[in-house]
Chains A and B, each alone.
Chain A
Amino acid sequence: MTDQTGTRLAPALEMRGITKRYPGVIANNNISLDVHPGEIHALLGENGAGKTTLMNVLYGLAQPDEGEILLDGTAVRIAGPADAIARGINMVHQHFMLVPVLSVADNILLGEETMANRVFLDRREAHRRIVELGRRFGFEIDPEAKVGSLSVGWQQRVEILKALYRNARILVLDEPTAVLTPQETEEIFAVLRRLAAEGHSIVFISHKLYEVLEIADRITVIRRGKVVGERRPAETNEDDLAELMVGREVQLTVDRGISHPAGPVLRLAGLEVKDDRGNLAVRGVDLEVRAGEILGIAGVAGNGQDELVEAVIGLRHPTAGTVTLAGADVTGRSPRGMNEAGVAYVPADRHRFGLITPFSLADNLVLTSYYRRPYARGLLRDGDAIARDAAIAIERFDIRTPSASVTAGTLSGGNQQKAVVAREFDRDLKLLVLDQPTRGLDVGSIEFIHRQVIAKRDAGTAVLLVSAELDEVLEMSDRIGVMYAGKIVAVVDGRTADKNEVGLLMATGGAERPAAPVGVAP
């Protein structure tokens, strides 16, 4: 496939010398990118490198200050998303743009209604086309299934079908595998390969190096708005790509060293927790996390991990069972009570749960301790103490910020998470609860945070790590518990765990039969 591309006359898509400036930053600086028919071109870069801006330019959401876009060799001006779609450019966003309560067919038809006449939809024709498209690319899908009942992997397929239904020739996928299990990732890759074989052009945006190496025909790496290199998978490797991406040598996997676990710190016994709708989300979990070890919880999102974490940190009252911390029963204690007992928590969604973005960095650093000495005496806050310790934390945790008084919302994602980590790590802890602590972060920040976690573990803290990113769990954990349908179905050794084995447990819960036939039945 790669060999053919050179012989083609004009690429399906060519972006030439794209420059896009925003006040104070050049988001894209003379970026050129081309994709040939039948090619999968990966766009690799850290968060904030300019990937999203470039794709917004392509999708007509932003107009470039300089440069041009050519489709099949002809310069075009893309006025907006509707125009882009009309020209055969389609985007599959990281966060799916689907309506969960509608059926697969209705979601696909939204905005692109196949009409039988002026008034009525031609559902039969639409269904026929959807089923046919699915078959062509290797999957059976029930057009009547409610999207909300589908697994994430199948929802992604619906997004892709939506694009194909609109006769997309150029498909842009933004971090498509972020939420998938390894098996689902393989399945989506198979679909993508078939799409390419049929002559579609695919732009694959990612920051996962091994995936890019596996799927792409060509890889373009951008850093700080500039193209810093173009590679073919055969002539590069993960270390080379990482160095290009970050601009310095990085250690991709933190050496976790050998753990020396001591006695149990956190003990869950027969824990049952209900979710917001009153359904039992955690169904009898028995688990032990020992001092000086990292216990990872792997599982497809929505299998009760959130509720489990919330019960451990005191946000949710268990309906049955007990939570024991260092020998003391702490079941049902408040979040502040847990915090004072030596439990720290780093949430997955730092914007929603970890930070108050309109508040200053200094205020965010004392968000859990603002009421205690030295930050307050009685009702009175001590601004000097807050500022002094903020300066120390900024230094120690390498938070890149103009000052401690800027609002947290103005910091980059990596620095925001460093602020959360600084707040939660900077004291003696018994238990550290991490919920996808590096979601959406760049390689450098991930490396930093992983190091901090290992250091905490080596200092004798028990670490409970929950992540939908199996890679992170595998990389960090001394032991891995697999959560499925509200239960821990297996606990395996983190050093010897096989990725596919764990992935299969995540998807099936260890049952003999394969995953529930999602996507076929509603």
Chain B
Amino acid sequence: MSASAAPVGGGARRQDSAISRVWSVAAVPLVVTVLSVLLGGVIIVFSELLVPGHTFDLGLPLVAYSALVSGAFGNPDAVVSTLVYSTPLVFGGLAVGFGFKAGLFNIGAQGQFLVGALGAVMAGVALAGAPAPIAISLSVLAGFVAGGIWGFVPGFLKAVSGAHEVVSTIMLNYVAVQLLAALVSGPLKVPHSPSPVTFDVGNAAFPIILGRSGHLGIVLAVVAALFVWWLLYRTTWGFEVRAVGANPDAARYAGMRPKLITIATMTFSGALAGLAGSSVLLGVTHSMTSSFGTTVGFDSIAVALLARSNPLVILPAALLFGGMRAGAGLMQIKAQIPVELVDVLQATILLFLVASPVLRRVLRAGGRHAGSTGVDLTATSTGGDAVAV
């Protein structure tokens, strides 16, 4: 049935289809990453020419990339650091990817991330003296719920009034930034502290379980990925989510309620992003400053797109992006390439992903998704259904 299957003998056929299954999931992310790395190399070579006194050096990309890789995976400490950087990206990638599965573009992961961290720090500070298991679980729960509220709002608005989630989640991102600044420099601020910072979360902090900085969140992230996969592919609710994402009309005709599912999906998506915030706060910073805020929410979109929303593929995708963040410092030291190159690489990955319908045609890896138009990002990223089931 597969148009691309080679005419092989009966025995080899099963194996052949297993390989082609893996290939159809992995081909586009792999090719996109390789292309981005190559393009990044070109950018390195030419950007060097802008520095006075520097000359054309074809070897420089190699130096830079080897520093990047050894900074990310060169020794046990580097690996742990990569895992720590990857942890919030797993939660965030799951959040955005889960939304994609229901046909929703949750671009507000950043806001939900911040609000989730805020929830975690509030609970954590309040429970700083409580026994660790209670303090940790309630603080994680607080981040989960806070992110969920931040996801519920756009979901609710979409269901009742049709307000597009892209617009409302972007607006809520700004609200989250201001809310955080207001609380951290106001009610949550440590009295008489010269800078706006909250108290430490004390016993609510994640225990270190790996190396010097590997905290409990790493394990939670892996568990979350497995859980989301299970939810999507083994439960009736996941079936509804995927059905609404793939064809809301048919879902409605089949008796599902797309509006309710939209609300539930956005809420759960926000809650996952909230866990991303909790994992950074409880695992890394332990307190919050008014400048708390990374690009995790936005990087998560890239992770979800790269993994085409498959919860299990999100793990390596997050590892790639986390590794780049972890290794960027060493790259700057060894090759004098600014850490911002990592942003450039992420951006080119995104650009190539947007062009992935073309890539897939070239690769013929998308033969099974002939129906997917790939016109917008959502369509591209939800196309992975057939393979993952």
Contact = CB atoms under 8 A, between A and B. Distances in A.
Interface of A: 23-24, 313, 315, 334-336, 339, 345, 347, 352-360, 363, 367-368, 370-371, 376, 379-381, 383, 402, 405-407, 409-410
A409 B366 CA distance: 14
Interface of B: 1, 3-4, 234-237, 239, 242-243, 246-247, 249-257, 368-372, 383, 385-386, 389
B254 A406 contact: no
Nearest to B230: A380
Given A354-B250, A357-B247, A406 B1 contact: yes
B235 A359 contact: no
Q: Name the residue in B234, B237, B246, B254 with the highest tally of chain A Cβ atoms < 10 Å from its Cβ.
A: B254
Contact of B242 (A359, A376, A410): A359
Given A335-B252, A356-B250, A380-B234, 20 more contacts: A315-B252, A335-B255, A336-B256, A347-B253, A353-B250, A353-B253, A357-B247, A357-B371, A358-B246, A358-B247, A359-B385, A367-B254, A368-B254, A371-B236, A376-B236, A381-B236, A383-B234, A402-B1, A405-B389, A406-B1
Ranked 4 nearest A-B pairs via Cβ: A336-B255, A23-B3, A335-B255, A367-B254
Contacts of B251: 356
Given A370-B236, A380-B235, A409-B371, A334 B255 contact: yes
11 contacts: A315-B253, A353-B253, A356-B243, A357-B371, A359-B243, A359-B246, A359-B385, A363-B239, A370-B236, A383-B234, A407-B386
Contacts of B255: 334-336, 339, 368
A410 B254 CA distance: 21
Contacts of B371: 357-358, 407, 409
Contacts, number: 84
A347 B254 CA distance: 11
Contacts of B236: 370-371, 376, 379-381
A360 B386 contact: yes
A190 B235 CA distance: 59
A336 B256 CA distance: 7
B247 A356 contact: yes
Given A24-B3, A358-B383, A358-B386, A367 B250 contact: yes
A358 B3 CA distance: 17
B255 to A, nearest CB: 3
A363 B389 contact: yes
Nearest to B364: A23
A23 B247 contact: no
Nearest to A24: B3
B243 A345 contact: no
Contacts of B368: 407, 410
A368 B254 CA distance: 5
Contacts of A368: 254-255
Contacts of B254: 335, 367-368
Contacts of A354: 250, 253
A191 B249 CA distance: 39
Nearest to A367: B254
Contacts of B4: 23
B43 to A, nearest CB: 37
B372 to A, nearest CB: 7
A360 B246 CA distance: 12
B49 to A, nearest CB: 45
Contacts of A402: 1
A24 B6 CA distance: 10
Nearest to A337: B255
Nearest to B385: A358
Nearest to B369: A358
